[in-house]
Amino acid sequence: MLELYDYQDQAIIDLRRAYSSGSRAPLLVLPTGGGKTVCFTYMAQQASGKGLSVLLLAHRKELVNQISTALKLWNVPHGIISPSHPATQHPVQVAMAQTLAKRVKLDRSGRFMFDLVIIDEAHHATKDSTWGAILEHNAGAKLLGVSATPCRLDGKGLGITSDGFFDNIVIGPSAAELVEMGRLCAPVVYAPDRMVDLSGVKKRGGDFVAGQLAKAVDKQAITGDAVTHYRRYCDRQAAIAFTVTVEHAEHVVDEYKQEGYQAAVLTGATPDKERAQMIRDLGNGGLHVLASCNVVSEGTDIPAVAAAILLRPTASYALAMQQIGRALRTMPGKDKAIILDHAGNTLRHGLPTDEVGWSLNGMQRSGKVKLKTCTCKAIIPWSAKKCPGCGKVFYSADPGTENSGSTRDLPITKSGELVEMSPEKLKEIRRQRYQEEKRAASVDQLARIGVERGYKYPQSWAKKRFVELHR
């Protein structure tokens, strides 16, 4: 049997209160690795125990399998709706969203109508999506959405007023709080002090166009650099490399193999048995690096992963944090998570432990986080009880030195190098970027800066920014 942690139990209490207050469709927010599957499968167990029919929706085979495994641990008999499973009459069903959407269109018997519909990775559930047809078919059901990043690729929220499905939001502890509790590993982030040049790469649907992006980042220098930094910071530890395309993933794997590492490509077309073997090998040392294109960015629970190698720049906060989250899960002997951010996503979106204010309308970033400097010179949140760099434990009588904002202890970087990306380092880079903009003597000079940074409309940005800087 599974067990609930205190914060998970509180989240369920809050969800019940939401339903009791009249909500039909609350949304539960927990960071990646916070145990969302445990929470919502427990809710499914409780509902089925009351004689209700329950549908649990997911959009990937890995997620369907994980949900099924959790239901078994809660002793919940259930069926699976997917092309590879026979139909059953169980009142609890775990469904591949794409498969069920096709069957719903042909259903005239009410067979696919349920009392409670639970949507995993609910940030995908929009009215014009695969989920939309299923939820419309179950218009009389209560809903429960779960997500670590409750916003769409374009940053819009998931609430009814944002043309979504949800009418209430329950927010659990933040990633920083879960790190402090010991439920997530402390991330140690290394990133470049300048972003990859994405001038000429267009955006579509809230993110960069994959084909154009691949041409911009799939270069010998970038991939080779990734191998060098992997060897330096997490040599032969289990890592997932996130790439733009399958071809990009193959190039990355070739580079690692040439340097003597065991590496493989995981794609949506990889057979289930081979996929399962890859994940086992990643956990037992038989595989060092698994390169993936949009397959394990969400939901996949592989605690043995010690590092995330970000080779795909993304304009989506949700995608960036989902990828980083693959390395944050805890396991015995794992005291930190290494994030090698070659894509510069930290500069776009901030650190994974930065506070974010979630609402049904999307996200709102919080203000400045109070920091302290460890004796090893690592800059960490003031509330941290243990330094992720050297392991020092902080007591109330030994709080560390409050950081005054000085940059004298910041790492010295050179071209092509990744440096540990602390909150203070990120602040300094943003200050430098502001100074660079301030020195621009004309709109055209500012537009050239926008081109170097990969802005979609550099001239429009420059005109607006120039006015802001010279009011």
Q: Which has more confidence, 45 or 454?
A: 45
Q: Where do the domains of the chain lie, and which CATH numbers do they carry?
A: 6-173 (3.40.50.300), 178-366 (3.40.50.300), 429-469 (no CATH)
Per-residue pLDDT at 469: 86
Three-state DSSP at 69 gives helix
Query: pTM (2 decimals)?
Result: 0.75
- How many whole angstroms separate alpha carbon 207 and alpha carbon 454? 12
Per-residue pLDDT at 20: 96
Per-residue pLDDT at 49: 96
Three-state DSSP at 441 gives coil
Q: Which has more confidence, 371 or 320?
A: 320
186-191/419-420 β-pairing: antiparallel
Per-residue pLDDT at 59: 87
Q: Quickly count: other Cβ atoms within 10 Å of residue 232's Cβ.
A: 12
425 pLDDT higher than 90: no
The string of pLDDT tens digits covering residues 59-96 is 888 889 899 999 999 999 999 999 889 999 999 999 99
Per-residue pLDDT at 422: 76
Query: Percentage of the chain surpassing pLDDT 70?
Result: 83
Between 121-135, 171-185, 319-333, the lowest mean confidence (pLDDT) is in: 121-135
Per-residue pLDDT at 143: 97
The string of pLDDT tens digits covering residues 45-61 is 999 999 999 999 998 88
The string of pLDDT tens digits covering residues 121-142 is 998 888 877 888 899 889 899 9
| CA distance to 70, 73, 333, 359, 414, per residue, from 38 (Å) | 7, 10, 23, 23, 45
- How many whole angstroms separate alpha carbon 431 and alpha carbon 427? 6
DSSP 167-219: SEEEE---HHHHHHHTSBPEEEEEE-SS----TT--EETTEE-HHHHHHHH--
Phi-psi region of 333 (alpha: psi -120 to 50; beta: other; left: phi over 0): left
Per-residue pLDDT at 407: 28
Residue 368 tokens, joined = 């400045």
Q: Kindly indicate the confidence band of residue 104, based on its pLDDT and cuts at 50, 70 and 90.
A: confident
Per-residue pLDDT at 393: 80
| CA distance to 52, 86, 94, 223, per residue, from 292 (Å) | 38, 30, 25, 14
| Across 231-257, average pLDDT | 92
239-242/289-292 β-pairing: parallel
Structure letter (DSSP) for residue 370: P
- How many whole angstroms separate alpha carbon 194 and alpha carbon 431? 13
Q: Kindly indicate the confidence band of residue 194, based on its pLDDT and cuts at 50, 70 and 90.
A: low
Per-residue pLDDT at 369: 46
145 pLDDT higher than 70: yes
Mean pLDDT over all residues of the chain? 83
Q: Kindly indicate the confidence band of residue 411, based on its pLDDT and cuts at 50, 70 and 90.
A: very low
299 pLDDT higher than 90: no
Q: Compute the C-alpha angle 391/353/358, nearest 5°.
A: 155
- How many whole angstroms separate alpha carbon 469 and alpha carbon 471? 6
**Amino acid at residue number 295:** V
Per-residue pLDDT at 196: 65
- How many whole angstroms separate alpha carbon 340 and alpha carbon 190? 5
Q: Which has more confidence, 257 or 470?
A: 257
Q: Which has more confidence, 119 or 189?
A: 119
54-58/116-119 β-pairing: parallel
Residue 50 tokens, joined = 């009351």
DSSP 302-360: -TT--EEEE-S--S-HHHHHHHHHTT-B--TT--EEEEEETT-HHHHH--TTS-EEEET
Three-state DSSP at 155 gives coil
- How many whole angstroms separate alpha carbon 292 and alpha carbon 414? 29
Q: Kindly indicate the confidence band of residue 376, based on its pLDDT and cuts at 50, 70 and 90.
A: very low
Highest average pLDDT, of 197-206, 307-316, 388-397, 459-468, comes from 307-316
221 pLDDT higher than 70: no
408 pLDDT higher than 50: no
